[in-house]
């Protein structure tokens, strides 16, 4: 399962970022932030071919020695980033996709909340719960 | 048998057939011709590099082996053209297992046939497998054939058959020369071939091919060459298909056995690689790569299974501790050292991976996919690190870093070797990952070996370095002569601090530049940060700062709070080292308020600021910091909320400051500078009231939190909208309405893509200039606690005008925090007010005739009432000011300040009220009692407005004050008569809201002594409630003749209810009565028809009207009315009229007529009229009216009489006169029709008679309201019931 899940606004500021508590949170922030480079690269690459149905799932953004970073971008250019431990070899691409789909659904629910101000950081407990479900259970 | 590889230096020797002993060596040594230079080590590096610059597609030097038996001399002569022509045409190779067919150019190594070449039983080697066996002969002599050739062929055939090889062909070369030579025993050409065919090729005629005149350039020769080549190609392919298919099947079988205990991956590896080699040999690189990828995947799966707990025995060898970490080696086509290791099961995991990757790399480069190499390399390196971890292989600390570093550089080197600079630059995105990875690894190696610290490596570090270098082994021979080999680089980098720095910086900058070039700025900044950390360690904060600042800028602009905090902390350290006090303090202040830090850290940074602030010393050195980081102004509240006071008044401003510091901070001075604007015009300060009302003196400042939330740049400023209404100046009607945006300059501002908009968290404090305002709000010695603090200022308010709060300063020792702009702008107004006197009734309405309280309110404004100041009130008769003993003045502000007794001095003309001393902007209130005299007279108004002029001490002009008094009563009078008697009735109506008691009701007649008015009112006092009326009655008696005009005076005393007698005030009412006496009496009698006792409805009855003169004609009357003399006797003409308005009666015949009455008492005139009752019952008498008839004297006729009633009657009469018809049933109903015409006639001066009614009381009607009984008609069957 994921070690860090982030939702990033269109303007590239974090709407939600949560990582496994045992590890260095800061490192994940840097990792996710840097991954935006690749996200932007991929988005702009897709944008060039007009008219094709855009795949929201961006796939593996970049691997590092310890982590694999996957990306997903909604039609409103909100980015989802999931960081997975490299040692976690059991995760298949399909599972990552389904995680993103779940994340997207949950995010949509948050946006549907009339009391939520789009652009504000996400405070929803339900969303939190779903994220927790996708994160590694440690300890 | 596997190829036996020696480090032979054999070059390609394709000038002729190769001796089979050289074959194996050649298979590998010649694999990559250009690399032979390395093997030889003779080519200078420069030469080598130019050679490497061009991507060379290497032709395979390994070729399928074809053996040649028979006549070697013949073959040698044909070899060159054969070898040249064979690959010229492609052949389609149809594949098994549904693989796509491929076009293939076939080449072959023709070697001399030897029996050893044939594979022995169980040998699965493919590379050395002879795919085709050829027997050459040019025999054309039967004898020769029979004697030697046939036998040789037989042997050849037998040995082939013994080895199960069915891929052979016999080539018979024919030439005319040979024929000519052996003319003697010549046989038909075909016979030899036929013989061979029949001897060897039973059923396989195609196994014997004839080549005619091969060395001649004729069409026949060419044709025979072509058919030979085609045959060879076909046979070769057939052999490939068959043999490779068999091999693949065997290989699959072996793979299926992998679950069996004795199975070894290494063995299998060798088998599948053999297949890869063959594909490579056939230049089917794609297929070759597939073999390696399959092996790769298989191995990976085993490692993963191991992680999942499923251990394979053979994997044990790969779990051995890593002893060598020399990195990838991609310069050799095949790294035989590693291959041997694998073959013997001695390879470590790194060895296997390295070998596998080097093969994949080679093939990918053949396939011209260098960028895939880089991707795969990065994946491989990450994967290896993970796999070692997963297999729990023990590795020396840092060894993997060495391996990864070397490998990265090796891959990069290899890629550089096959691409030109332009290509490389264009594909940075593919290589940058490796650069960054290498940089990372070098950095961690440097840290591990103590090369980064300022002190240099310790002995422990040196030991570690030695161990690491030992694992690298010796440099590979390929790179020994290369100056820039990865091996040399690593060794050098680890050798000294300086070298390390040089290499590290070189790599970092390379990675940085590449990231920048491909637009991965965030990654570039991360590398920059890493560089900054390095510089910091090296004690070079100056360089570090540049990188950190750049990184911070990006984090701030994108709102990543955690990286912001972290980077800022590093910057703080940097700035401290650099001694940039101002910047350091600013950063410290920012950090002190950063919620991402622990309280301890925050306290530390806060203390840093405070320590500096508290430092005694150079007073001139003051540091100005932005206030946003220290405390935020969240709310500003005015007291009073209007934010508008009169000059000199108390105005307080309460600031709510959210202190971001973790501890309480003592501030020496908190000040807000004020901009003063002398405002002209709206001095009362209420012109901008509308705006103020919305927030009621409170201004909320919303600033985003420094550390959390989206950056302000993202959201942009919010719109400030105001409703706008445009009214036309003339009639104030709405002409246009809309919404205006007040802050367009902010919203519409062009967003510069280069410079992010100002955010409160910018690095350096904004250029703060303290504007020295003349006036300031100040408080000294405040302690700000963490969180919200409330600070109250007293605002200066001496001069009237507008005060705008501009800046806020907080001084803590040497540190000053400045808020350069207070936005939204905050203003308050000070106004100056003129003194103003207001006089108003204490209670509405004021009643005339009674003492009433009037309230004087003096707003002093800016005027100070001094002792001796007095109000001078001019006295008027109609409204005297009642002197009172105790008149108290209240001074309020608006709370009660004082009370004092006023002294009021009245002289004849002036009442002077001395005012007590009163301060400005106070209110002085007192009450005076005044009485408004009710004016007497008949036509008095309902209200009285006496005017009073007041002289005030502050003005040279007198103030006119008008009060409105209401007269409480409305009176009416009327004259009543009964026969000869007359009565005067006075009606008093109370129009006020007060209940009164009336007493002493009196009516006095003037001028006539003989007149006696007898009161018929019994009560002495009478209650008259509000809105009620009271009637009083007097009988009028007189002895002598009364004048026609009677002056009467009604008087009464009144007082509000329940007040004692002294409070009674008089009320007078004067009126005049005329013609009091009764002149005529009218008596009417209804006479039943003859013979009847009662009237009956429907029957005519008589109405007898008797008009009697009661009095002697008075003098006035004579003069007025007796102008028509008849017969010397004075008569007046009267007109009577019988009218029944209620339709009870029908007047039959004459209803009106003229009567001449003699002007003498008791003169009587009787008129008979016929009337008919229409109903039965007690019917009231028909109404009889008597009117004065004025004959048409010019004087009277011209006189226009506005009285419409009279007019109408007279006109009606005129009608009759004109028609010569004296009687009409209804006179009234027709008047209006002719009114216009008649008025015209009047105005033309035509004399017309006129009617005039008598004054009330002059005619007394006896039969008024009398009734007569009318019986119903006798024959009435129908009873009519009227219910009304």
Greatest mean pLDDT range, B32-46, B721-735, B950-964: B950-964
User: In whole angstroms, what separates CA B672 from the centre of its chain?
Assistant: 32
For residue range B678-736, list pLDDT tens digits in order. Answer: 765 444 433 343 344 445 677 877 654 443 444 444 345 566 677 777 777 777 778 88
CATH node for B619-707+756-831: 2.60.40.10
Span B1182-1215, pLDDT tens digits: 888 888 887 765 444 344 444 433 444 444 444 4
B381: which chain A residues are within 8 Å (Cβ-Cβ)? 65
pLDDT band at B49 (very low <50, low <70, confident <90, very high): very low
**Does the pLDDT of residue B485 top 50, yes or no?**
yes
B1244 or B173: whose pLDDT is higher?
A: B173
Confidence of residue B1043 (pLDDT cuts 50, 70, 90): low
Q: Provide DSSP, B1119-1174.
A: HHHTTSEETTEEEEEEEEEEE-TTSSEEEES--EEEEEEESSTT-EEEEEEEEEE-
3-state secondary structure of B759: coil
Task: Give B196's contacts (C-beta < 8 A, 6+ positions apart).
Answer: B137, B145, B153, B170, B172, B208
Instruction: Mutate one of B303, B379, B382, B525 to test the A interface: name it (highest A CB count within 10 A).
Output: B382
Q: Which residue, among B304, B438, B526, B558, would best test binding to A if mutated, counting the most A CBs under 10 Å from its CB?
A: B558
User: Residue B908 has which token pair?
Assistant: 């004849």
* Fold of the domain built from segment(s) B63-258: Rossmann fold (3.40.50)
Residues of chain B found within 8 Å of residue A117, distances taken between Cβ atoms: none
Give percent above pLDDT 90 in chain B.
Answer: 4
Whether residue B469 has pLDDT greater than 90: no
> For residue B855, what pLDDT is reported?
86
Q: CA B174: distance to chain centroid?
A: 96
Under DSSP, is residue B798 helix (H, G, I), strand (E, B) or coil? coil
Quick one: tokens of B1128? 């010397």
What is the pLDDT confidence band of residue A50, given thresholds at 50, 70 and 90? low
Q: Does B297 touch chain A (CB under 8 A)?
A: no
* Per-residue pLDDT at A6 exceeds 90: yes
Contact B102, B146 (CB under 8 A): no
* Nearest alpha-carbon partner for B641 in B691, B677, B681: B691
Residues of A in contact with B595 (CB under 8 A): none
B525 min Cα distance to partner chain A (Å)? 9
In this predicted structure, the answer to whether residue B489 has a pLDDT above a threshold of 90 is no
Cα B836 from Cα B952, distance rounded (Å) = 10
Number of domains in chain A: 1
Query: Which residues of chain B are within 8 Å of residue A65 when distances are taken between CB atoms?
Result: 381-382, 385-386, 437
SS3 state of residue B127: coil
* A64 contacts chain B (CB < 8 A): yes
pLDDT for the residue B1227: 40
CB nearest A65 (choices: B308, B385, B566)? B385
Q: State yes or no: cis peptide before B258, omega within 30 of 0.
A: no
In terms of residue numbers, what domain contains A42?
2-134
**Spatial distance between the Cα atoms of B238 and B168, rounded to a whole number of angstroms:** 11
CA distance B306 to B265: 14
**Which residue from B1079, B1136, B1083, B1081 is spatially nearest to B1263, judged by alpha carbons?**
B1083
CB contact under 8 A, B389 and A87: yes
Would the pLDDT of B1021 be above 60? yes
B101-128 residue pLDDT tens: 888 888 777 888 877 777 776 666 777 7
Structure token digits, residue B474: 């010796």
pLDDT number for residue B176: 66
User: What confidence score (pLDDT) does residue B27 get?
Assistant: 37
pLDDT over 60 at B1057, yes or no: yes
Gap between the Cα atoms of B574 and B721, Å rounded: 45
User: Is B1121's pLDDT higher than 90?
Assistant: no
Strands ordered across the beta sheet of B1177-1180: B1095-1096, B1267-1271, B1177-1180
| Nearest residue to B995 via CA among B847, B874, B825 | B847
B145 Cβ neighbours under 8 A, 6+ residues apart: B139, B192, B195, B196
**pLDDT class for B182, splitting at 50, 70, 90?**
low
- The answer to the question of residue A139 being in a domain is no
- Would the pLDDT of A104 be above 90? yes
Cα(B724)–Cα(B701) distance, rounded to whole angstroms?
Answer: 24
Q: CATH code at A62? A: 3.30.450.70
Residue A124 domain-assigned (yes or no):
yes
**Is A43 part of a structural domain of the chain?**
yes
CB contact under 8 A, A38 and B520: yes
Q: Is A45 exposed, middle or buried (0-12, 13-18, 19+ CB in 10 A)?
A: exposed
**Separation CA B1029–CA B314 (nearest Å):** 130
Q: pLDDT tens across B593-627, in order?
A: 888 888 899 999 998 888 888 886 666 677 888 88
Strand order in B943-944's β-sheet? B846-847, B965-966, B943-944
Q: Check CB contact of A14 with chain B, cutoff 8 Å.
A: yes
- Cβ separation B521–A41 shorter than 8 A: no
In this predicted structure, what is the pLDDT of residue B966?
A: 85
In a domain, A119, yes or no: yes
What does the pLDDT average to over B1003-1010? 73
Q: Classify residue B781 as left (phi > 0), alpha (psi -120 to 50) or beta.
A: left
In this structure, the number of other CB atoms found within 10 A of the CB of residue B1226 comes to 11
Domain boundaries, chain B: 63-258, 261-495, 619-707+756-831, 843-965, 968-1074, 1079-1182+1259-1284, 1192-1248
Kindly report, residue by residue over B198-237, the tens digit of the pLDDT: 777 777 777 788 887 777 777 878 888 888 888 888 888 8
Q: Which residue has the higher pLDDT, B782 or B727?
A: B782
Average pLDDT of B621-649?
A: 82
Other Cβ atoms within 10 Å of B1081 Cβ, number: 20
B1063 vs A: CB within 8 A: no
The answer to the question of residue A32 being in a domain is: yes
Whose tokens are 């008025």? That residue is: B1239
Least confident residue range of B174-178, B817-821, B893-897, B1075-1079: B174-178
Which tokens is B1017 given? 């009112």
- Closest CB to A65 among B382, B518, B526: B382
Give the pLDDT of residue B101.
81
Least confident among B24-28, B306-310, B339-343, B1210-1214: B24-28
Hey, is the C-beta of B595 within 8 angstroms of any chain A C-beta?
no
**Mean pLDDT estimate for chain B:** 76
Q: Can B63-258 and B1079-1182+1259-1284 be said to share one CATH topology?
A: no
A11, A29, A119 member nearest B563 (Cβ): A29
Name which of A13, A65, A121 is nearest B558 (Cβ-Cβ). A13
Whether B760 has a pLDDT exceeding 50, the answer reads no
Residue B34 has pLDDT above 50, yes or no: no
Question: Under a CB-based contact definition with an 8 Å cutoff, are residues B404 and B434 in contact?
Answer: no
**DSSP state string for B815-883:** EEEEE---SS-EEEEEE----EEEEEESSSSEETTSEEEEEEEEE-TTPPBPTT-EEEEE--SSSPEEP
pLDDT at position B723: 74
Mean pLDDT of B538-559: 89
CATH number of the B843-965 domain? 2.60.40.740
How many whole angstroms separate alpha carbon B406 and alpha carbon B408? 5
pLDDT score of B930: 82
Give the residue among B1224, B1233, B1085, B1218 at the shortest CA–CA distance from B1152: B1224
Do A13 and B711 count as a contact with CB atoms less than 8 A apart? yes
More confident residue, A88 or B565: B565
Give residue B58's pLDDT band: very low, low, confident or very high (50, 70, 90). very low
Class of CATH domain B968-1074: mainly beta
Residue B97 gets the label, from left (phi > 0), alpha (psi -120 to 50) or beta, of left
By Cβ distance, the residue of A11, A29, A90 closest to B714 is: A11
* Record: contact B307-A89, CB cut-off 8 A: yes
What class, spelled out in words, does domain B1079-1182+1259-1284 have in CATH?
mainly beta
**Alpha-carbon distance B345 to B266, whole Å?**
6
How many other C-beta atoms are found inside a 10 Å radius of the C-beta of residue B488? Answer: 14
Whether the Cβ atoms of residue A54 and residue A46 lie closer than 8 Å to each other: yes
Confidence band for A9, pLDDT divided at 50, 70 and 90: very high
CA distance A72 to A42: 10
Mean pLDDT across B1237-1248: 48
What is the C-alpha separation between B552 and B556, in angstroms, rounded? 6
Q: How far is A42 from chain B (nearest CA, A)?
A: 12
Please tell me the predicted confidence (pLDDT) of residue A59.
87
Report cis status (omega within 30 of 0) of the bond before B478.
no
Count of CB pairs separated by less than 8 Å, A with B: 78
Lowest mean pLDDT among A95-104, B178-187, B573-582: B178-187
- Which of B28-37, B319-328, B1068-1077 is the least confident region? B28-37
Residue B1134: predicted pLDDT: 82
Tell me: pLDDT of B1169 over 60.
yes
- Residue B19 above 50 pLDDT? no
What local confidence, expressed as pLDDT, does residue B507 receive?
92
Interface ipTM: 0.92
- Residue A86 and residue B714: Cβ atoms within 8 Å? no
SS3 B739: strand
Q: How many CB atoms lie within 10 A of CB B1007?
A: 9
Strand B1095-1096 to strand B888-892: parallel, antiparallel, or no bridges (unpaired)?
A: unpaired
Minimal Cβ distance to A9: which of B381, B386, B710 = B710
pLDDT at residue B1241, rounded to an integer: 43
């Amino acid at each position: 399962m994921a070690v860090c899940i982030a939702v990033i606004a269109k303007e590239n500021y974090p709407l939600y970022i949560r990582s496994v508590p045992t590890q260095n949170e800061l490192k994940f922030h840097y990792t996710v932030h840097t991954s935006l480079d690749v996200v932007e690269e991929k988005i702009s690459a897709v944008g060039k071919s007009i008219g094709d149905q855009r795949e929201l799932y961006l796939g593996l953004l970049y691997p590092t020695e310890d982590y694999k970073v996957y990306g997903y971008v909604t039609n409103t250019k909100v980015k989802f980033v999931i960081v997975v431990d490299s040692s976690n070899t059991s995760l298949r691409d399909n599972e990552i996709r389904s995680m993103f789909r779940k994340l997207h659904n949950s995010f949509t629910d948050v946006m549907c909340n009339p009391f939520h101000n789009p652009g504000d950081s996400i405070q929803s407990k339900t969303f939190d719960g779903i994220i927790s479900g996708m994160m590694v259970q440690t300890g | 048998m596997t190829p036996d590889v020696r480090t032979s230096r054999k070059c390609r020797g394709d000038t002729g057939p190769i001796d089979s002993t050289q074959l194996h060596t050649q298979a590998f040594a010649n694999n990559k011709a250009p690399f032979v230079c390395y093997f030889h080590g003779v080519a200078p590096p420069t030469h080598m590099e130019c050679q490497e610059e061009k991507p060379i597609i290497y032709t395979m030097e390994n070729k399928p082996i074809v053996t040649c038996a028979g006549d070697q001399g013949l073959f040698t002569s044909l070899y060159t053209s054969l070898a040249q022509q064979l690959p010229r045409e492609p052949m389609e190779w149809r594949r098994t297992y549904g693989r796509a067919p491929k076009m293939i150019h076939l080449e072959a190594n023709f070697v001399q046939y030897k029996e050893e070449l044939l594979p022995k039983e169980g040998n699965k080697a493919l590379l050395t497998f002879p795919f085709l066996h050829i027997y050459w002969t040019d025999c054309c002599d039967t004898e020769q054939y029979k004697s030697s050739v046939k036998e040789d062929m037989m042997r050849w055939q037998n040995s082939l058959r013994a080895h199960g090889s069915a891929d052979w062909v016999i080539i018979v070369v024919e030439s005319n020369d040979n024929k000519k030579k052996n003319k003697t025993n010549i046989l038909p050409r075909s016979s030899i071939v036929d013989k061979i065919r029949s001897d060897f090729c039973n059923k396989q005629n195609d196994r014997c091919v004839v080549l005619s005149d091969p060395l001649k350039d004729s069409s026949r020769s060419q044709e025979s060459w072509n058919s030979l080549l085609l045959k060879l190609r076909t046979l070769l392919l057939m052999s490939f298909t068959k043999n490779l298919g068999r091999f693949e099947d065997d290989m699959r079988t072996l793979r299926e056995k992998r679950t069996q205990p004795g199975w070894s991956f290494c063995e299998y590896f060798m088998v599948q690689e053999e297949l890869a080699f063959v594909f490579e040999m056939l230049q089917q690189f794609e297929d070759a790569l597939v073999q390696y990828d399959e092996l790769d995947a298989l191995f990976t799966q085993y490692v993963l299974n191991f992680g999942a707990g499923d251990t394979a025995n053979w994997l044990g060898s790969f779990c051995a501790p890593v002893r060598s970490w020399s990195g990838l080696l991609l310069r050799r086509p095949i790294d035989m050292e590693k291959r041997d290791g694998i073959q013997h099961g001695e390879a470590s995991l790194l060895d296997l991976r390295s070998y596998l990757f080097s093969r994949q790399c080679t093939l990918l480069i053949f396939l011209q996919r260098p960028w895939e190499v880089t991707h795969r390399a990065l994946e491989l390196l990450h994967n290896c690190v993970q796999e070692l971890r997963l297999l729990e292989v023990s590795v020396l600390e840092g060894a993997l870093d060495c391996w990864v570093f070397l490998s990265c550089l090796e891959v990069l080197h290899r890629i550089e070797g096959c691409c030109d600079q332009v290509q490389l630059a264009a594909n940075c995105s593919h290589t940058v990952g490796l650069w960054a990875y290498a940089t990372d690894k070098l950095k961690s190696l440097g840290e591990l070996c103590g090369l980064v610290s300022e002190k240099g490596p310790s002995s422990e570090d040196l030991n570690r370095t030695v161990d690491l270098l030992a694992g690298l082994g010796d440099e590979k021979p390929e790179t020994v002569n290369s100056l820039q080999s990865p091996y040399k680089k690593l060794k050098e980098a680890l050798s000294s601090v300086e070298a390390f720095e040089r290499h590290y910086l070189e790599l970092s900058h390379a990675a940085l530049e590449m990231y920048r070039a491909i637009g991965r700025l965030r990654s570039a900044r991360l590398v920059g940060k890493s560089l900054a950390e390095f510089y910091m360690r090296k004690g070079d904060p100056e360089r570090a700062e540049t990188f950190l600042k750049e990184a911070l800028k990006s984090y701030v602009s994108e709102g990543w709070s955690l990286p912001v905090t972290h980077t800022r902390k590093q910057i703080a350290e940097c700035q401290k080292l650099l001694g940039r006090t101002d910047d350091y303090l600013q950063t410290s202040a920012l950090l002190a308020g950063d919620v991402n830090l622990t309280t301890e850290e925050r306290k530390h940074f806060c203390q840093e600021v405070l320590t500096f602030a508290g430092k005694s010393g150079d007073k001139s050195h003051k540091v100005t910091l932005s206030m946003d980081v220290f405390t935020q102004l969240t709310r500003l509240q005015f007291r009073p909320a209007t934010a508008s006071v009169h000059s000199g008044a108390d105005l307080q401003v309460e600031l709510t400051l959210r202190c971001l510091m973790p501890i309480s901070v003592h501030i020496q001075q908190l000040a807000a500078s004020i901009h003063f604007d002398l405002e002209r015009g709206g001095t009362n300060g209420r012109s901008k009231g509308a705006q103020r009302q919305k927030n009621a003196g409170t201004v909320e400042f919303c600033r985003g939190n420094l550390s959390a939330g989206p950056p302000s740049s993202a959201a942009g400023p919010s719109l400030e909208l105001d409703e706008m209404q445009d009214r036309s100046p003339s009639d104030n009607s709405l002409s246009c309405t809309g919404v205006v945006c007040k802050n367009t300059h902010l919203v519409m501002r062009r967003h510069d893509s280069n410079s992010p908009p100002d955010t409160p968290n910018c690095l350096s404090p904004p250029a703060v200039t303290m504007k020295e305002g003349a006036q300031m709000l100040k408080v000294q010695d405040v302690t700000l606690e963490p969180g919200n603090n409330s600070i109250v200022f007293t605002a200066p308010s001496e001069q009237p005008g507008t005060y705008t709060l501009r800046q806020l300063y907080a001084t803590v020792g040497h540190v000053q925090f400045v808020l350069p702009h207070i936005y939204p702008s905050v203003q308050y107004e000070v106004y100056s007010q003129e003194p103003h006197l207001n006089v108003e009734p204490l209670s509405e309405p004021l009643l005339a005739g009674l003492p009433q309280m009037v309230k004087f309110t003096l707003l002093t404004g800016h005027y100070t009432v001094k002792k001796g100041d007095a109000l001078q009130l001019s006295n008027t008769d109609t409204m005297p000011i009642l002197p009172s003993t105790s008149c108290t003045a209240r001074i309020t502000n608006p709370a009660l300040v004082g009370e004092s007794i006023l002294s009021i001095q009245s002289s004849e003309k002036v009442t002077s009220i001395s005012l007590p001393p009163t301060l400005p902007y106070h209110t002085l209130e007192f009450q005076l009692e005044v009485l408004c005299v009710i004016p007497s007279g008949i036509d008095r108004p309902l209200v009285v407005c006496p005017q009073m002029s007041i002289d005030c001490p502050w003005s040279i002009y007198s103030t006119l004050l008008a009060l409105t008094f209401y007269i409480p009563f409305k009176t009416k009078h009327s004259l009543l008569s009964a026969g000869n008697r007359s009565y005067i009735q006075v009606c008093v109506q109370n129009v006020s809201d007060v209940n009164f008691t009336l007493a002493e009701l009196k009516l006095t007649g003037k001028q006539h002594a003989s007149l006696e008015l007898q009161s018929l009112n019994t009560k002495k006092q009478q209650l008259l409630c509000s809105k009620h009326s009271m009637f009083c009655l007097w009988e009028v008696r007189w002895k002598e003749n009364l004048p026609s005009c009677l002056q009467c005076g009604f008087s009464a005393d009144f007082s509000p209810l329940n007040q004692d007698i002294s409070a009674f005030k008089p009320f007078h009412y004067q009126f005049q009565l005329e013609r009091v006496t009764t002149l005529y009496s009218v008596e009417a009698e209804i006479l039943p028809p003859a013979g009847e006792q009662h009237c009956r409805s429907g029957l005519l009855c008589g109405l007898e009207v008797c008009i009697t003169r009661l009095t002697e004609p008075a003098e006035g009357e004579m003069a007025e009315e007796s102008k028509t003399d008849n017969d010397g006797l004075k008569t007046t003409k009267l007109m009577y009229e019988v009218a029944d308005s209620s339709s009870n009666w029908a007047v039959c015949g004459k209803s009106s007529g003229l009567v001449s009455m003699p002007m003498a008492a008791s003169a009587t005139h009787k008129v008979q009229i016929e009337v008919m009752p229409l109903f039965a019952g007690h019917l009231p008498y028909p109404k009889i009216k008597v009117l004065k008839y004025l004959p048409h004297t010019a004087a009277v006729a011209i006189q226009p009489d506005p009285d419409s009633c009279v007019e109408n009657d007279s006109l009606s009469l005129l009608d009759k006169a004109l028609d010569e018809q004296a009687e009409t049933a209804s006179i009234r109903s027709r008047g209006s029709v002719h009114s216009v015409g008649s008025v015209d006639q009047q105005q033309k001066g035509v004399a017309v008679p006129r009617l005039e009614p008598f004054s009330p009381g002059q005619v007394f009607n006896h039969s008024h309201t009398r009734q007569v009984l009318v019986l119903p008609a006798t024959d009435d069957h129908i009873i009519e019931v009227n219910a009304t």
